[in-house]
């Protein structure tokens, strides 16, 4: 069992949890993910590692309570335990040779962008952070991002934080304004990662995206997470989760991401026949 | 006097119509009377030809003789002395290519039902046997096993019995490997696998789940942790696809994914279990091995109205166990042989709308000794389908090879070992599908046994 040692609500929908998992923390690096299962009936879900503490054997995850499993996960408290917690899975981010990078987080993606920004900041890379949210009430990790970014821009779709716009508007302004990034890292919803990739393509700026595909084992076994990258089939779990955004086929990724939507709803509304509990 | 019937005593099976709708075990096994009757078909040949077909050298005539003497527990003891998973082997071994292939009775009529008798003895033990508290003298030497499939479990069992301190590392949340995630409940009940695993734990084997060697811990670190030898039995986990158009459409599964969702994650109990499976009305399964049969029969049980196997060679070349093909036909699976997919058709919404195939004919024998299938020009046709399952075989899992220096790998991604199962890296052994590419449970068990013996010899010396 893997104990929850810290739980913090970042906003109405988003929760941070720190889990005791020395099996994962020992080799964890930015860009990698874990797979967890709450209980015997639970499904395996992948979540990106938001932070880790090797000495204490801790791993932090941040999740949005949108699906059957994440909603139930959100009901657990400090002191409770998860049945399974495996990792670190996937390839770690590569920062070799980078001097100036723009890290973009879209909504919850900011939770994944944060460890990347932090890792690069620790390596002495100049980091510009851009984070986008629907409104100011759901802004997360502003303080943490502020500490590891040399420049931080936070935008809201509705302008409620005083800075209306999408992350792409900000990125475009920065590039047009003469900023020269070695690389752009975009993490968030597929539409946002596609928009960023399309924006940077004409400028020839290398763009890395993190694919959050549906998967079961996370070790290359099921092939459910396959993504087309540059015309080749890649597995997000072992070849990724990060890929060259200019080569990813986002259309098929979006379709596959929605494949279980109906079943997800059934699961959310399901009342257990045995215990009468609603998940 | 031997029973001279040319046919095996039939094993009881659930009615095909009824079983195709549920996950209950299809073959219900011999009764004691049936086992007794079948045991009398064995001629107890002096030169024991059957034994040469068994990768783990089960003393076949001896255990059958015990059954004949109605000493069923004695029969089990003999099997167990060389096989760590009798209840599993009795169910999933391709006996027709192994022990039963060499049975003298097979020359005129059917061979002795060795697999059925093995299963009977194992099931009898599970119901009536008592666990013996055998005192094992510990030698304090630590050995690590990576992967808890048939190879790893067998290796672990033999080492534990020899007094070693064995730790098994499993990447998934449940030990058992393919026995748990791959082979369906109706062919190999998970309760049986669980009992075999429990009996290993009783012997003192420690099993650590959620440990991905190559990620959570590296092979070289295991040596630093005090393990003196390491056995890698991580299987052939990476599913292959055909590389044809449409494989990214919704409704295209690898057999691995489909079976894992159903077996390991218990997707057939959705929504009581959380993992969903989307099976359509008409499922096409591409391939002709056991995995293809398992995927096809599972799809039927998940509610598909029609399930078709699509296989590029003919029925004769099909690598699946004969019994599984027979069961699949009984249950109403349609076989499209000498047929090869060329494209998965989009229904216009990004999901499967059909499987476009081409007819094949058989040419000269290829490297596998089977006649090579050749496309018949202009014979394309489309099979109605909304779900396509690719059961084309798997490649070895690359996680360990990618993170371990000094491990020789061949072109197909398999770990290279010598006849003792020793790899190019000192004290690192490997066996099972990670060495051979996708093969059978029993071959993996044989490899686990070989490596265990080599480890015992090398570390005790």
Q: Which residues contact B58 (CB under 8 A, 6 or more apart)?
A: B51, B78, B79, B82, B83, B89, B99, B118
CA angle A234, A238, A239 (to 5 degrees): 45
Question: Percent of chain B having pLDDT more than 90?
Answer: 83
What count of Cα atoms within 13 Å lies in the side-chain half-sphere of residue B312? Answer: 19
Shortest CA distance to A183 belongs to which of A203, A210, A207, A167?
A: A207
**Domains of chain B listed by start with CATH number:** 12-128 (1.10.1060.10), 142-237+395-460 (3.50.50.60), 241-392 (3.50.50.60)
Work out the widest C-alpha separation in chain B, in whole angstroms: 69
Range of the domain at A170: 91-206
Kindly determine whether residue B237 and residue A220, on different chains, have CB atoms separated by under 8 Å.
Answer: yes
Q: Which residues of B touch A233 (CB under 8 A)?
A: 241, 243, 247-248
Are residues A116 and A58 part of one domain?
no
Q: Is the pLDDT of residue B168 over 80?
A: yes
Distance from the Cα of A6 to chain B's closest Cα (Å) equals: 21
Per-residue pLDDT band at B84 (split at 50, 70, 90): confident
Q: Which residues of B touch A23 (CB under 8 A)?
A: 208, 210-211, 216-217
CATH of the domain at A67: 2.40.30.10
Per-residue pLDDT band at A212 (split at 50, 70, 90): confident
In a domain, A134, yes or no: yes
Chain B touched by A89 (CB under 8 Å):
yes
pLDDT digits (tens, 9 = 90+) for B325-357: 999 999 999 999 999 999 999 999 999 999 999
pLDDT digits (tens, 9 = 90+) for B31-60: 999 999 999 999 999 999 999 999 999 999
Q: Are B455 and B428 in contact (CB under 8 A)?
A: no
Here the ipTM equals 0.91
Are residues A99 and A31 part of one domain?
no
CB contacts < 8 A (A, B): 138
pLDDT, residue A271, reads 62
Determine the Cα–Cα distance for residues B123 and A57; give it in Å rounded to an integer: 44
Q: Is the pLDDT of residue B134 over 90?
A: no
Q: Is the pLDDT of residue B74 over 60?
A: yes
pLDDT digits (tens, 9 = 90+) for B242-267: 999 999 999 999 999 999 999 999 99
Are residues A200 and A107 part of one domain?
yes
Q: Is the pLDDT of residue A279 over 70?
A: no
Kindly determine whether residue B273 and residue A264, on different chains, have CB atoms separated by under 8 Å.
Answer: no
Q: Which residues of A touch B397 (CB under 8 A)?
A: 219-221
Of the partner residues B181, B216, B237, the one whose CB lies closest to the CB of residue A87: B216
Kindly determine whether residue A220 and residue B272, on different chains, have CB atoms separated by under 8 Å.
Answer: no
Q: Which residues of A touch B173 (CB under 8 A)?
A: 37, 44, 83-84, 86
pLDDT, residue A263, reads 85
Report the b/e string of B298-330 with b at 16+ CB within 10 A: bbbbbebebbbbbbbbbeebbbbbebbbebbee
Kindly determine whether residue B171 and residue A274, on different chains, have CB atoms separated by under 8 Å.
Answer: no
pLDDT, residue A273, reads 52
pLDDT digits (tens, 9 = 90+) for A67-88: 889 999 999 999 999 999 999 9
Kindly determine whether residue B261 and residue A69, on different chains, have CB atoms separated by under 8 Å.
Answer: no
Q: Which residue of A has its CA nearest to B394?
A: A221
In a domain, A85, yes or no: yes
Place of tokens 């060499």: B102
pTM for this model (two decimals):
0.92
In a domain, A177, yes or no: yes
CA angle A187, A190, A196 (to 5 degrees): 65
Are residues A41 and A141 part of one domain?
no
Are residues A123 and A24 part of one domain?
no
Q: Which residues of A touch B404 (CB under 8 A)?
A: none
Q: How many residues does chain A have?
A: 279
Average pLDDT of the residues in A239-249: 96
Q: Which residues of B touch A249 (CB under 8 A)?
A: 248
In Å, how far are B58, B177, B259 from B54, measured between CA atoms? Answer: 6, 22, 28
Are residues A83 and A97 part of one domain?
no
Identify from A71, A86, A221 which residue to disrupt to test chain B contact, counting B C-beta atoms within 10 A and taking the largest count.
Answer: A221
CATH of the domain at A195: 3.40.50.80
For helices A190-200 and A250-257, the axis angle rounded to 10 degrees is 170
Domain limit, last residue, from A150, A171, A206: A206
Average pLDDT, chain B: 93
Q: Enumerate residues 23 to 42 of chain A having a beta carbon within 8 A of any beta carbon in chain B.
A: 23-24, 26-27, 37, 41-42
pLDDT, residue B461, reads 59
Q: Is the pLDDT of residue A275 over 60?
A: no
Domain limit, last residue, from A89, A110, A125: A89
Kindly determine whether residue A89 and residue B215, on different chains, have CB atoms separated by under 8 Å.
Answer: yes
pLDDT, residue A95, reads 92
Determine the Cα–Cα distance for residues B410 and B408; give it in Å rounded to an integer: 7
pLDDT, residue A159, reads 87
Are residues A116 and A81 part of one domain?
no
Q: Which residues of B touch A26 (CB under 8 A)?
A: 216-217
Kindly determine whether residue B398 and residue A274, on different chains, have CB atoms separated by under 8 Å.
Answer: no
> Would the CA dihedral through B398, B238, B56, B418 be positive or negative?
negative
pLDDT digits (tens, 9 = 90+) for B281-304: 999 999 999 999 999 999 999 999
Kindly determine whether residue B254 and residue A279, on different chains, have CB atoms separated by under 8 Å.
Answer: no
Q: Is the pLDDT of residue A274 over 60?
A: no
What count of Cα atoms within 13 Å lies in the side-chain half-sphere of residue A56? Answer: 12
Name the least confident of A269-278, B311-320, B377-386.
Answer: A269-278
Per-residue pLDDT band at A12 (split at 50, 70, 90): confident
Per-residue pLDDT band at A277 (split at 50, 70, 90): low
**3-class SS of residue B375:** strand
Question: Percent of chain B having pLDDT more than 70?
Answer: 99
Q: Dig out the tokens for B19 from the structure.
A: 């079983």
Domain limit, last residue, from A32, A54, A89: A89
Are residues A100 and A183 part of one domain?
yes
In Å, how far are A40, B82, B88, B428 from B139, measured between CA atoms? Answer: 36, 21, 29, 20
Question: Percent of chain A having pLDDT more than 90?
Answer: 78
pLDDT digits (tens, 9 = 90+) for B417-447: 999 999 999 999 999 999 998 888 999 999 9
Average pLDDT of the residues in A270-275: 59
Are residues A142 and A36 part of one domain?
no
Chain B touched by A272 (CB under 8 Å):
yes
Per-residue pLDDT band at A16 (split at 50, 70, 90): very high
Chain B touched by A84 (CB under 8 Å):
yes
pLDDT digits (tens, 9 = 90+) for B200-209: 999 999 999 9
Q: Give the DSSP H or E segment for B359.
A: strand B352-365
Q: Is the pLDDT of residue B371 over 90?
A: no
Name the least confident of A118-122, A271-275, B34-38, B88-92.
Answer: A271-275
What is the domain count for chain A? 2
pLDDT, residue B60, reads 96
Q: Which residues of A touch B273 (CB under 8 A)?
A: 41-43
């Amino acid at each position: 069992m893997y104990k929850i040692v810290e739980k913090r609500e970042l906003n109405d929908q988003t929760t941070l949890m720190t889990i005791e998992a020395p099996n994962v923390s020992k080799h964890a690096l930015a860009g990698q993910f874990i797979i967890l299962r709450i209980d015997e009936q639970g499904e395996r879900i992948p979540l990106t590692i938001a932070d880790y503490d090797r000495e204490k054997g801790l791993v932090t995850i941040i999740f949005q309570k949108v699906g059957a499993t994440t909603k139930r996960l959100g009901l657990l408290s400090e002191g409770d335990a998860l049945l399974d917690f495996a990792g670190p899975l996937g390839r770690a981010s590569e920062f070799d040779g980078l001097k100036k990078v723009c890290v973009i987080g879209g909504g919850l993606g900011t939770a994944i962008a944060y460890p990347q920004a932090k890792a690069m900041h620790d390596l002495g890379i100049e980091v510009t952070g851009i984070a986008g949210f629907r409104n100011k009430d759901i802004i997360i990790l502003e303080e943490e991002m502020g500490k590891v970014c040399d420049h931080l821009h936070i935008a809201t779709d509705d302008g409620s934080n005083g800075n209306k716009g999408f992350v792409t508007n900000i990125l475009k302004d920065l590039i047009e304004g003469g900023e020269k990034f070695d690389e752009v890292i975009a993490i968030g919803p597929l539409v946002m990662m596609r928009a960023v990739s399309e924006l940077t393509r004409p400028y020839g700026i290398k763009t890395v995206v993190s694919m959050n595909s549906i998967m079961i084992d996370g070790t290359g076994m099921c092939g459910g997470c396959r993504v087309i990258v540059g015309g080749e089939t890649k597995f997000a779990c072992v070849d990724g989760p990060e890929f060259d955004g200019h080569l990813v086929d986002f259309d098929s990724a979006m379709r596959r991401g929605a494949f279980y939507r109906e079943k997800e709803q059934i699961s959310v509304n399901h009342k257990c026949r045995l215990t009468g509990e609603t998940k | 006097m031997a029973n001279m019937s040319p046919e095996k005593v039939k094993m009881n099976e659930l009615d095909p119509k009824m079983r195709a709708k549920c996950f209950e075990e299809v073959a219900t096994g011999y009764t004691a009377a049936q086992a007794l009757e079948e045991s009398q078909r064995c001629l107890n040949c002096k030169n024991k030809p059957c034994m040469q077909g068994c990768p783990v050298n089960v003393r076949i005539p001896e255990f059958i003789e015990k059954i004949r003497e109605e000493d069923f527990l004695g029969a089990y003891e003999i099997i167990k002395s060389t096989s760590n998973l009798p209840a599993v082997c009795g169910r999933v071994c391709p006996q027709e290519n192994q022990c039963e292939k060499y049975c003298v009775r097979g020359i005129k009529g059917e061979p002795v039902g060795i697999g059925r008798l093995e299963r009977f003895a194992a099931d009898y033990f599970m119901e009536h046997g008592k666990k013996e508290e055998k005192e094992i003298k510990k030698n304090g030497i630590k050995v690590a096993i990576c992967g808890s499939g048939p190879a790893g479990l067998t290796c672990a069992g033999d080492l534990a019995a020899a007094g070693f301190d064995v730790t098994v590392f499993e990447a998934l949340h449940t030990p058992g490997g393919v026995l748990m995630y791959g082979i369906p409940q109706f062919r190999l009940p998970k309760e049986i696998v669980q009992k075999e695993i429990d009996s290993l734990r009783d012997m003192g084997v420690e099993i650590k789940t959620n440990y991905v060697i190559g990620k959570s811990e590296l092979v070289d670190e295991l040596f630093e942790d005090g393990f003196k030898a390491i056995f890698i039995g991580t299987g052939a986990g990476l599913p292959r696809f055909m590389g044809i158009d449409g494989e990214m459409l919704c409704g295209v599964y690898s057999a691995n994914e489909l079976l894992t969702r159903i077996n390991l994650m218990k997707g057939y109990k959705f929504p009581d279990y959380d993992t969903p499976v989307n099976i359509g009305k008409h499922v096409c399964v591409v391939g002709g091995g056991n995995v293809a049969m398992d995927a096809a029969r599972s799809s039927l049980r998940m509610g598909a109205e029609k399930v078709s196997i699509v296989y590029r060679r003919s029925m004769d070349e099909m690598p699946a166990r004969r019994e599984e093909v027979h069961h699949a036909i009984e249950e109403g699976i349609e076989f499209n042989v000498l047929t090869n997919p060329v494209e998965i058709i989009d229904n216009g919404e990004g999901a499967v709308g059909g499987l476009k195939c081409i007819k094949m004919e058989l040419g000269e024998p290829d490297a596998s000794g089977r006649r090579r299938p050749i496309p018949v020009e202009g014979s394309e046709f489309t099979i109605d389908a909304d779900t396509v399952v690719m059961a084309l075989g798997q490649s070895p899992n690359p996680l360990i090879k990618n993170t371990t220096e000094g491990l020789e790998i061949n072109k197909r991604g398999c770990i290279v070992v010598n006849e003792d199962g020793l790899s190019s890296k000192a004290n690192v052994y490997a066996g099972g599908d990670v060495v051979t590419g996708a093969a059978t449970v029993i071959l993996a068990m044989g490899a686990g046994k070989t490596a265990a013996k080599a480890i015992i010899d090398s570390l005790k010396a």
